C-alpha cells in the first residue's frame, strides 16, 4: 500500500476536474503495475483504488479486468466468508442479534420490522437465538421486511418457510426503498394487533443518498413508537462531498478492512475474493459522481447527531456478549458512550446503536 498510496493521494487532490494528461498517464501506469501483481496485498489495494479513480475520470464507466476473474468464488461461499469468517461482520451481527433478541423475548406477539432485510439470514439467526432463550414468551412473531430487490425477498420467504421453531412466524414484505415510503405505507405493513415493535436496519441506511431523506426515515421510525431501533453501520465519512477528503477516509477504512482480511485463515483466492467484494463499494465511493453514488457511510458522530435531532434516546441494554468478543485483532467494544463498536487498531470499523423514541 505504501508503494502506491502517496502517488494516488496526490492524484486524488486534483480529482475530479484538474487532472492533466500526465496525471492520467500516471494513474494508468499505477493501475497496470498493480494489475500485474494482484497476489501481493499492497498491489491489490492499489489496484482497487486506482480502478475506482479511473472509473471516476471516465465518467463512471469501468470494466473489471479479465485477470480478476481468477479470484471468483461461488456466491454462497462469499457470503459464508463474510458472515462467519470476517470478524467485522461476525462481531457486529453477534452484537446486533443479541440486542434484538433481548428486545423481543418478553413479548407474546412482537413485530420485527427489518429495513433492508435481504435474504433474511440475519433475522433467521435472530429467530433461532430467540427460540433458545430461557423464559422466552413469544407465541407468534411477525417479520416485516422492506427490501429493494424482489429476488432477495423471494429467498427470504423460502428461508423463513424452512424454519422449525417453538413459535409461529408470519412474514410479509414490501419491495421498495424505505426512503420513498410514507409513514402510512409503513404502518400499513404492520399487523392490526401486536404488543411490541422492534426495528432493525443492518448496513442499509447509509445507502439513502440525501441527509434530508435520512431525517425523514428516522422520523418515520420514531413515529412508529418502537420499543427499540437497532442500527448497524460501517464507520467512515463517505458522505463527504470533497473528493480528496473522501479518498483519505476510504483509504483509512478499507485499508484496515483489507488488513483484517489478510489475517484470516483462508486461502489467498478467498482473501482476494473478499477484497474484490469490498472493491465494489470502493468503486462507488471513489468512482461514481455525487449524483449517483449510494455508498455514503457516516462517521459515528454523524449517526449520533441524526439520532439526537430526530428525537431518539440512545441506551446500551447489554454489556456482555458471550465468550467471543475478539477475532483476529478486531474487538467488540462495549465501553464507548451511546454505541457499541467493532474496533481494529484503535479505529472504529462498525457501530451498533440501540435507540428508543
Q: Which of 60-64, 148-152, 223-227 has the lowest mean pLDDT?
A: 60-64
Q: Mean pLDDT throughout 125-136? A: 96
DSSP state of 238: -
pLDDT at 182: 98
What DSSP line would sit under 146-211, residue for residue?
Answer: EES-HHHHHHHHHHHHT---SSEEEEEEEES-GGG--HHHHHTTS-S--SEEEEEEES-GGG---H
Does position 59 have pLDDT exceeding 90, yes or no? no
Higher confidence at residue 232 or residue 70? Answer: 232
pLDDT at 140: 98
Does position 21 have pLDDT exceeding 80, yes or no? yes
> What does pLDDT average to over the chain?
92
pLDDT tens string 81-124: 787 789 999 999 999 999 999 999 999 999 999 999 999 999 99
pLDDT at 265: 92
Alpha helices in the chain (DSSP H): 5-12, 21-35, 41-57, 75-80, 87-104, 121-131, 150-161, 183-187, 211-223, 243-262, 268-287, 300-309
CATH 3.40.50.150 in the chain: give the residue spans: 92-235+298-356
Higher confidence at residue 75 or residue 132? Answer: 132
3-state SS class at 64: coil
pLDDT at 81: 78
For 92-235+298-356, CATH number?
A: 3.40.50.150
Amino acid at each position: 500500500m505504501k508503494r502506491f498510496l502517496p502517488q494516488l493521494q496526490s492524484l486524488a487532490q486534483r480529482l475530479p476536474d484538474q487532472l492533466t494528461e500526465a496525471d492520467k498517464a500516471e494513474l494508468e501506469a499505477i493501475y497496470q503495475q498493480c494489475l500485474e501483481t494482484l497476489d501481493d496485498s499492497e498491489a491489490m489495494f492499489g489496484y482497487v483504488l486506482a480502478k475506482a479513480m479511473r472509473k471516476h475520470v471516465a465518467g463512471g464507466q469501468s470494466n473489471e479486468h479479465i485477470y480478476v476473474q481468477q479470484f471468483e468464488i461461488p456466491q454462497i461461499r462469499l457470503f459464508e466468508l463474510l458472515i462467519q469468517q470476517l470478524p467485522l461482520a461476525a462481531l457486529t451481527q453477534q452484537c446486533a442479534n443479541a440486542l434484538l433478541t433481548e428486545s423481543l423475548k418478553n413479548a407474546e406477539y412482537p413485530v420485527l420490522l427489518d429495513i433492508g432485510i435481504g435474504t433474511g439470514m440475519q433475522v433467521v439467526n435472530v429467530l433461532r437465538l430467540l427460540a433458545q432463550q430461557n423464559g422466552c414468551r413469544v407465541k407468534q412473531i411477525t417479520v416485516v421486511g422492506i427490501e429493494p430487490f424482489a429476488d432477495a425477498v423471494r429467498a427470504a420467504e423460502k428461508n423463513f418457510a424452512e424454519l422449525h421453531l417453538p413459535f409461529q412466524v408470519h412474514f410479509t414484505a414490501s419491495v421498495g426503498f424505505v426512503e420513498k415510503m410514507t409513514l402510512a405505507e409503513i404502518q400499513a405493513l404492520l399487523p392490526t394487533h401486536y404488543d411490541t415493535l422492534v426495528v432493525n436496519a443492518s448496513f442499509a441506511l447509509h445507502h439513502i443518498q440525501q441527509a434530508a431523506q435520512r431525517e425523514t426515515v428516522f422520523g418515520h421510525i420514531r413515529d412508529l413508537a418502537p420499543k427499540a431501533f437497532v442500527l448497524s453501520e460501517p464507520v467512515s465519512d463517505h458522505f463527504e462531498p470533497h473528493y480528496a477528503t473522501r479518498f483519505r477516509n476510504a483509504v483509512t477504512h478499507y485499508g484496515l478492512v483489507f488488513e483484517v482480511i489478510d489475517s484470516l485463515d483462508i486461502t489467498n483466492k478467498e482473501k482476494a475474493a473478499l477484497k474484490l467484494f469490498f472493491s465494489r463499494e470502493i468503486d462507488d465511493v471513489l468512482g461514481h459522481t455525487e449524483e449517483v453514488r449510494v455508498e455514503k457511510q457516516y462517521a459515528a458522530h454523524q449517526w449520533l447527531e441524526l439520532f439526537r435531532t430526530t428525537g431518539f434516546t440512545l441506551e446500551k441494554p447489554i454489556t456482555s456478549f458471550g465468550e467471543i468478543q475478539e477475532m483476529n485483532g478486531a474487538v467488540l467494544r462495549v465501553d464507548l458512550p451511546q454505541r457499541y463498536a467493532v474496533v481494529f487498531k484503535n479505529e472504529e470499523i462498525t457501530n451498533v446503536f440501540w435507540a428508543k423514541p
